[in-house]
Amino acid sequence: MTKQSITVLQLYPKDMNIYGDHGNLLVIQRRLEWYGYEPTIIHYNVGDVFPENVDIIIGGGGQDSGQEIIHEDLIKIGPKLKALAENGVPMLMVCGLYQLFGNFFKTLGGKTMTGIGVLDIETHGTQERLIGNIVTTNEEFGEIIGYENHSGQTFLGENTQPFATVLKGAGNNSKDSHEGARYKNVIGTYLHGSILPKNPRLADFLIHTAVTKKYGDFSTDIIDDLLADLARDIASERPR
Amino acid sequence: MPHHFNSLVVILGKAVRNAARLRGGGSALPGLFVEKISPDFIKQTLGQLPHGVVVVSGTNGKTTTTKMVVALLEAHGLKVFTNRTGSNFTRGVAAALLGDIDMRGKLHADIAVLELDEAHAVNFVKTIPPRYSLLLNVMRDQLDRFGEIDATAKMLEKIAVATTDTVVLNREDRRVLAIKDTLSGQKVELFGLSDSLLPDFPSDDDMRNSAVIKTTRPNANVLLKKYSGNTATYDLGGKEFTTTLKLNGVYNVFNSAAAIALARAVLAGETKPDLILSTIAEVTPAFGRGEELEVGGQPLELVLVKNPSGFRLGLKSFSPAGYATMIAINDNYADGRDMSWLWDVDFESLSDEGVSEVAGIRAYDMALRLQYDEVTIGHIERDLPTALRQFIDNNTTSPKRIYCTYTAMLALRRELSKITKVEVIS
């Protein structure tokens, strides 16, 4: 029997991959394999042709310089990403691309970088770097454990829900207790670490959503996540 | 500062240093003591040196490179003060000074060669402008302390700008090479690699970028032309020289080119190529940087890993075939708290042999990483002494290799010194 295939697109791996974002791709790829699906990975970089059919999209963080390099291209493919988001395609955007999936990023120097507006959020550059181990909680996924490192502070507009509530750490900003943003199946977050290895429920949400959307049902296989559980226990106890 | 007070600081500092050594403590404690009591201590003491101060900085390779620079300068007759401990923060320098000065606070040396952590170097050069600096590379490392790679590059730029005579730069690191354009008064010397060796050194930027295009680069004063087995060929000012090395690891060998470039700058034309080569040939890796010990009649290698590029180069440099492998990952402050970096290293090269022991505070993070590369694991044990014993007992007939983060390495060396000969570092 030929395996059912799932196409995973990683946005800008060349310029936005600085905080272990490759780990998120690897986790989705392996778990798809372990569940019995055939993952097809597309590395989308500046200037590439945006593919017609995509089932999962992930994107990562970068240097400020990386954000500048990809900005124009992102604006160009923005309408396509927006249509896919409206259509319920699961996406995970971490740090830099989370910010640019919002309305705008205003740097400390007063320069404004427009986002693609998938998420109703705005981000302001600050002098303060929010950095360290972080634990958040979300009704659907339970405790989410990771590491944050950002100086941009993000605030939610009316049309976007926070992704999670901070238990330990800073999250979106130093004012409220929100972490990340959620619109339909699009999740934006500041957690790297990488986020998916230690949060397999979140990885499975992206996979499950994509598979059931495309094929109607989902694999009955079970993955042993003991190592992830043990790593979570230790990580949540470590100093900030 | 009154002379008698300075002497008191020296005596008290030395006493704290001896006490710290007796209880097997780290090298930074006595330095911290002196730093608090007498902040001008380092400035006064290093200010006496006739050939000034050399600063070696960058993300990877500082310790082994510094060791090579010291060997080269000593071979040419200079008396060198250095912070040999690899405790490269300012207070590590103060601690090393306490060991070398006499009771009057006089340092008997011609020149100081200091390896300094990027962030601490920035503060250090504000007080003591170095005569020479060597800037090795800017890799992703401890981003939880420095924020971003570009911010780290800015720190190296500050070191270069503060340098009064010559700045030695890595031509193959684009952020380091770019520092050249920010300098005006200083002389600049470059070290580099031949085109054929470039693919062995992917930068963090090129990590997920298969189409690496290198544009034309400026000429390097010292070039590593060829390297295979343990034979290296250098181009020194247009002439080729070949030698066999005791160093292992392709990154250590590239750093030897850096050390040679710096020594040539310091000695200003007074160097002898034969002496350079015979000295480099005898240098062994610094402690924990591919250092080889013997346990139960079998070799045991310690390979320090601090960041993705270092780990990748380590895995590339040392074949796992026939070796038992252990990986020990801590996340103490000196290691970096962020575990993201493990996801930027591919471990598939360990698939055939597997990993016998996974250890350290973040053993489960490391094990999880290996799970996703489908590498088999023998045991997972967070406690380092227990893990080490288990690793040795389970692999009595094999040569062994341990990849470890900084604080894990210190703990493992301490354990190993109970069962074998481990070079004492002070």
Question: How far apart (Å, rounded) are the C-alpha atoms in residues A19 and A191?
Answer: 10
Residues of A catalogued as catalytic: 95, 192
Asked, as a colleague might, if the bond just before B319 is cis with ω within 30 of 0, I would say no
Above 50 in pLDDT, residue B22? Answer: no
**Per the CB < 8 Å rule, is A231 touching B144?**
no
**Per the CB < 8 Å rule, is B344 touching A13?**
no
Q: What is the pLDDT of residue B10?
A: 58
Mean of pLDDT values over B174-199: 92
Mean pLDDT, chain B, rounded, equals 84
Mean of pLDDT values over A47-63: 93
Nearest one of B246, B247, B221 to B234, comparing CA atoms: B221
Q: What is the pLDDT of residue B142?
A: 55
Q: Is A64 on the interface with B (CB under 8 A)?
A: yes
Q: What is the DSSP string of B129-176?
A: --SEEEE-------HHHH--HHHHHHHHHHHHHH-SSEEEEETT-HHH
Question: How far apart (Å, rounded) are the C-alpha atoms in residues A188 and A161?
Answer: 10
The answer to whether B283 touches B246, Cβ cutoff 8 Å, is yes
Mean pLDDT, chain A, rounded, equals 94
Q: What is the pLDDT of residue B90?
A: 61
Above 70 in pLDDT, residue B145? Answer: no
Question: What are the tens digits of pLDDT across the range A139-152?
Answer: 999 999 999 999 99
Tokens of B61: 């390779």
Of the pLDDT bands very low, low, confident and very high (cuts 50, 70, 90), residue B196 is: confident
Nearest one of A93, A72, A96 to A152, comparing CA atoms: A96
Question: How far apart (Å, rounded) are the C-alpha atoms in residues A134 and A132?
Answer: 6
For residue B315, the distance in angstroms to the closest alpha carbon of chain A comes to: 18
Mean of pLDDT values over B129-138: 94
Q: What is the pLDDT of residue B17?
A: 56
The answer to whether A17 touches A62, Cβ cutoff 8 Å, is yes
Q: What is the pLDDT of residue B84?
A: 63
Which residues 132-171 on chain B approach chain A with CB closer than 8 angstroms? 140, 143-144, 147-150
For residue A85, the distance in angstroms to the closest alpha carbon of chain B comes to: 26
Mean of pLDDT values over A178-188: 97
B133 backbone dihedrals φ, ψ, rounded to 5°: -135, 150
Above 90 in pLDDT, residue B147? Answer: no
B307: Cβ–Cβ under 8 A, 6 or more apart, which residues? B59, B60, B139, B140, B141, B142, B336, B341
B185: Cβ–Cβ under 8 A, 6 or more apart, which residues? none
Q: What is the pLDDT of residue B3?
A: 44
Q: What is the pLDDT of residue B25?
A: 43
Q: What is the pLDDT of residue B277?
A: 92
**Per the CB < 8 Å rule, is A227 touching B362?**
no
Q: What is the pLDDT of residue A11?
A: 96
Mean of pLDDT values over B313-324: 87
Q: Say which amino acid occupies B102.
A: D
Question: What are the tens digits of pLDDT across the range B200-242?
Answer: 776 666 555 544 455 678 999 999 999 887 889 999 988 999 9
Q: What is the pLDDT of residue B2?
A: 41
Mean of pLDDT values over B286-314: 84
Return the biggest CA–CA distance within chain B.
65
Question: How far apart (Å, rounded) are the C-alpha atoms in residues A16 and B280?
Answer: 39
Number of A/B CB contacts below 8 angstroms equals 98
Assigned fold of A5-237: Rossmann fold (3.40.50)
Q: What is the pLDDT of residue B43?
A: 80
B337 backbone dihedrals φ, ψ, rounded to 5°: -80, -25
Q: What is the pLDDT of residue A116?
A: 97
Residues of chain A contacting residue B382, judged by C-beta atoms under 8 Å apart = 234
Q: What is the pLDDT of residue A67?
A: 86
Above 80 in pLDDT, residue B29? Answer: no
Above 90 in pLDDT, residue A103? Answer: yes
Q: At what angle do helices B308-317 and B250-267 cross, to 10 degrees?
A: 110
The answer to whether B71 touches B113, Cβ cutoff 8 Å, is no
Tokens of B362: 């973040």
Residues of chain B contacting residue A193, judged by C-beta atoms under 8 Å apart = 338-340
- Reduced to 3 states (helix: H, G, I; strand: E, B; else coil), residue A42 is strand
For residue A215, the distance in angstroms to the closest alpha carbon of chain B comes to: 25
Beta-strand pair A178-183/A161-168: antiparallel
Mean of pLDDT values over B37-56: 81
For residue B139, the distance in angstroms to the closest alpha carbon of chain A comes to: 11
Please state, for a pLDDT cut of 70, what percent of chain A lies above it: 100
Q: Is A234 on the interface with B (CB under 8 A)?
A: yes
Q: Is A14 on the interface with B (CB under 8 A)?
A: yes
The answer to whether B52 touches B125, Cβ cutoff 8 Å, is no
Residue spans per domain, chain A: 5-237
Most confident of A64-68, A109-113, B136-140: A109-113
Tokens of A214: 């495309």
CA angle A55, A59, A65 (to 5 degrees): 150
Tokens of B179: 């520092």
Above 70 in pLDDT, residue B35? Answer: no
Q: What is the pLDDT of residue B11?
A: 58
Of the pLDDT bands very low, low, confident and very high (cuts 50, 70, 90), residue B350 is: very high
Question: How far apart (Å, rounded) are the C-alpha atoms in residues A25 and A110?
Answer: 34
DSSP secondary structure letter of residue A192: B
For chain A, the residue count is: 240
Question: How far apart (Å, rounded) are the C-alpha atoms in residues A159 and A171?
Answer: 19
Of the pLDDT bands very low, low, confident and very high (cuts 50, 70, 90), residue B1 is: very low
Q: What is the pLDDT of residue A61?
A: 86
Of the pLDDT bands very low, low, confident and very high (cuts 50, 70, 90), residue B23 is: very low
Select from A19, A151, A230 the Cβ nearest to the Cβ of B364: A230
**Per the CB < 8 Å rule, is B372 touching A18?**
no
Question: How far apart (Å, rounded) are the C-alpha atoms in residues A36 and A5?
Answer: 9
Mean of pLDDT values over A207-229: 95
Mean of pLDDT values over B49-66: 90
Q: Where are the alpha helices (DSSP H) in chain A?
A: 22-34, 64-86, 96-100, 195-198, 200-215, 226-237
Of the pLDDT bands very low, low, confident and very high (cuts 50, 70, 90), residue A25 is: very high
CA B422 to centroid of chain Cα atoms: 19
Residues of chain B contacting residue A234, judged by C-beta atoms under 8 Å apart = 361-362, 364-365, 382
Q: Is B5 on the interface with A (CB under 8 A)?
A: no
Tokens of B413: 């060396």
Above 90 in pLDDT, residue B385? Answer: yes
Q: Which domains does chain B have, with CATH numbers?
A: 3-282 (3.40.1190.10), 289-416 (3.90.190.20)
Select from A17, A129, A228 the Cβ nearest to the Cβ of B208: A17
pTM above 0.90, yes or no: no
